[in-house]
Amino acid sequence: MIFLTLMFSVFREAVAKKIFLGFFAIATLIILFFLLLVNVDSVEGMVNMMEATGEEGVKQLVMGFQVGMITISYFLVITFCFIAVSSFIPSMLEKGNVDILLSKPVSRTNIILAKFLGGVLLIFLSLTYLIGGVWLILSVKSGFWHFPFLYSIPWLTFSFAVVYALIILIGVTTQSTILSIIVSMFLVFVICPVLFVRETVIFSFITNSTMQFVINFFYYILPKLNDINKIIEEIIMGTAVSSYMPAVSSSLFMLAALLLSIFYFRRKDY
Amino acid sequence: MSVIATKELSKEYQSRTFSKEKILALNNFTFEVNEGEIFGILGPNGAGKTTLIKILLGITFRTKGNVQIFGKEIDDTSYKFQTGYLPENHRFPSYLTGEQALAFYGKLGGMNSVDVKKKTDEYLRIVDMDSWRKTKIKKYSKGMLQRLGLAQALMNDPKLVFLDEPTDGVDPIGRKQIRDLLTRLRESGKTIFLNSHLLSEVELICDRVAILNKGGLVASGSVEELTSVADSYRFSVSAIADDLMQPLLNTYKAVIKGPNEFTYKAGTAEELNGLIDFLRQKKAMILQIEKEKNTLENMFINLIGSQD
């Protein structure tokens, strides 16, 4: 009961700070955009043309739309959700607020876990609305009910959870919302894409083996969001997933960030 | 029975992050609080009062020493089901209404939904905030926040309540209401641990008081014990005639306070009786003899002043 109260306080905070409303509005706009898109003449014509070339053509078109949708969702999750949730921990740790919280019969470990799970559940439900809506429109319009697209909901939620664990760690140790946003954005927009193309692009400029080792080292210990996106695309396109290693190592990163947050929070004087 | 018992409790803080310099916030602090009493903790700013409360509630960790609440070590957090806390300068999530805040903290205190509803109604009425229950907290004044904070601390019907400056920002009528509430809580058997800068308030409601300075205990006892001036008696007589004046001043070293009042410092009961015999012999009408009392404020200022 206490754990659930804490977990759902994340929802209440999200509603109060208009986070839910903001995501709902943006998601609805995207869904409406897709609804209009599949009804415009040129796209309708494209669907008719694909239908004429056979079922495979329609499938390819729908899956192409869905992969595009994942890219939109990914950036939506990053730019909107990370900014929105990065204040959860610093605001909880404000003097006067944390004192009351810690005086209650709830363990510090559970406080961190409840905030983490609450945030993850919040994003899961938001993504379910967005991706589920788009999936429904595309399926009804094309008659091709491509269920693997729905797997992107837990995968994108997982991507969010990995960075959210880092946001919690930064929030607990620095109590700074701004720093949480900056670090998570830097990770998502700079570090992850650069490390993703390290073999195809970066190593053609950096030939020194020590430097390559250092870059590889960071690649393996840091989250691999772009690799996870690739996994989602492979699942949607129905091709074999090249490697689950990015998911495993990102899970370990998430676990490490959470454990460090709990370790620090359990020892900190407030 | 002791509700709170500490033994040689100490707390050291680092003065800055990565600094080896330590600040001693509490130094071998040993004390007990008994069941059903209002215990006041006094001290100048930085004396370690809030640190003490935070250690007792597991918000801050002790460096050494033992703490027992309800006879159990505080490492077992189950005692928090029976405690309530109103911190100084508390901050509730501003997007909640008064009743939502009470419901939230009540549930965090382990209450079920039915009790939460019942106690929310009851305590909002008691702290005179019933008409503001649906208003967002961000619109509350300081005094209203304080009343709500008090209701929050009492929601789970705790046996032990920690109140850090509970009347801060509350108007005189509100302060009186809070004092009356605390008295009623004591009568119902609850133990109250009170930190307040308002010494007159502490004097009015506390059964026992501890005074901290620089992390150490400098005095403790009942308000009566702490405010009585050692061996000094205030005499009221019908009049201090001339034949009384000289012996009183020269022989008894009394201090004349008015035309019919003087104080006398008696080292022993025999000395006190000696003066009474002298007054009777001189046919002086003794109207009143009382042990001289200080105000808690004067006592506090003298005590802390002598330490600094």
Residues of chain B in contact with residue A102, where contact means CB-CB under 8 angstroms, are: 57-59
For residue B183, the distance in angstroms to the closest alpha carbon of chain A comes to 23
What DSSP designation does A79 have? I
CB contact under 8 A, B95 and A106: no
**What was the pLDDT predicted at A205?**
87
pLDDT: which is higher, B91 or B292: B91
For residue B92, the distance in angstroms to the closest alpha carbon of chain A comes to 6
**What was the pLDDT predicted at B36?**
94
Separation of first and last alpha carbons in chain B: 35
- Stretch B104-128: mean pLDDT, rounded? 94
pTM: 0.84
Mean pLDDT of chain B: 91
* DSSP-assigned states of every residue in A178-214: HHHHHHHHHIIIIIHHHHHTIIIIIHHH---HHHHHH
**What was the pLDDT predicted at A80?**
76
Residues of chain B in contact with residue A111, where contact means CB-CB under 8 angstroms, are: none
Tell which B residues from 104 to 163 touch A, by Cβ distance under 8 Å.
104-105, 107-110, 112, 152, 162
Instruction: Indicate if the pLDDT at residue B55 is higher than 90.
Output: yes
pLDDT: which is higher, B220 or B302: B220
Domains of chain B, residue spans: 226-307
Count how many pairs of residues, chain A against chain B, have C-beta atoms within 8 Å. 83
Q: How many helices (H) and strands (E) does chain A have?
A: 15, 0
Taking Cα atoms as reference points, which of B204, B197, B219 lies closest to residue B302? B219
Residues of chain B in contact with residue A100, where contact means CB-CB under 8 angstroms, are: 85, 87, 90, 92, 105, 152
Taking Cα atoms as reference points, which of B46, B67, B42, B25 lies closest to residue B218? B42
Quickly state the pLDDT bin for B1 (edges 50, 70, 90).
confident
**What was the pLDDT predicted at A54?**
66
Using a CB–CB cutoff of 8 Å, tell me whether A102 touches chain B.
yes
**What was the pLDDT predicted at A247?**
96
Share of chain B above pLDDT 90, in %: 64
CB contact under 8 A, B87 and A270: no
Give the model confidence (pLDDT) of B2-32 as tens digits.
999 999 999 998 877 777 788 899 999 999 9
Around Cβ A65, how many Cβ atoms within 10 Å?
A: 22
Using a CB–CB cutoff of 8 Å, tell me whether B48 touches chain A.
no
Would you say the C-alpha torsion B119, B122, B125, B130 has a positive or negative sign?
positive
Whether the CB-CB separation of A240 and A234 falls below 8 Å is answered with yes
- Alpha-carbon distances, residue B15 vs A190, B46, B174 (angstroms): 37, 13, 38
- Stretch B84-104: mean pLDDT, rounded? 93
Using a CB–CB cutoff of 8 Å, tell me whether A41 touches chain B.
no
Ranges under pLDDT 70 in chain A: 41-55, 77-78
- CA–CA dist A246, A191 (Å, integer): 14
Domains of chain A, residue spans: 2-267
Mutate to test the interface with A, among B11, B72, B85, B107 (most CBs of A within 10 A): B107
The alpha carbon of residue A31 and the mean position of all alpha carbons in its chain are separated, in whole angstroms, by: 19
Give the model confidence (pLDDT) of B169-202 as tens digits.
888 888 898 899 999 999 999 999 999 888 888 9
- Token pair 């490490």: residue: A256
Whether the CB-CB separation of A5 and A101 falls below 8 Å is answered with no
> b/e for B154-187, b at 16 or more Cβ within 10 A?
bbbbbbbbbbbbbbbebeeebbebbbebbeebbe
CB contact under 8 A, A98 and B59: yes
Name the CATH topology of B226-307: Alpha-Beta Plaits (3.30.70)
**What was the pLDDT predicted at A221?**
94
Instruction: Indicate if the pLDDT at residue B293 is higher than 80.
Output: no
- CA–CA dist A87, A168 (Å, integer): 9
Phi, psi of B18 (to 5 degrees): 65, 5
CB contact under 8 A, B95 and A2: no
